[in-house]
Amino acid sequence: MSLTHIFNVEMTCEGCSGAVERVLNRLKGQGVENISISLPEQKVAVTSTLSADQLLEVIKKTGKKTTYVGIQ
């Protein structure tokens, strides 16, 4: 079952949000279905069958400070 997980990610520019999008796009077809990034709110919503912990680890690979908010 797919859930939409919300994360707070410290992003200051388009390059930051692009890095987050790139690492998550690699998982499309492997559990990640949709990615929505709000740079002004510094929020990332990921619709996926993967667990929040798995997604958190992937986003942290960008080097950005990331925290899990919850399910939308």
Q: At what angle do helices 52-60 and 14-25 cross, to 10 degrees?
A: 130
Task: Compare 72 and 5 and report the one with higher pLDDT.
Answer: 5
Give me the phi and psi of 25, to 5 degrees please: -60, -30
The domains of the chain are located at 3-71
pLDDT for 65 = 97
The HSE-up count of residue 56 (CA atoms within 13 Å, CB side) is 14
What are the pLDDT digits (tens) for 23-53?
A: 999 999 999 999 999 999 999 999 999 999 9
The CATH code for residues 3-71 is 3.30.70.100
- Residue among 32, 29, 23 at smallest CA distance from 58: 23
Give me the phi and psi of 30, to 5 degrees please: -120, 25
Which percentage of the chain shows pLDDT scores above 70?
A: 100
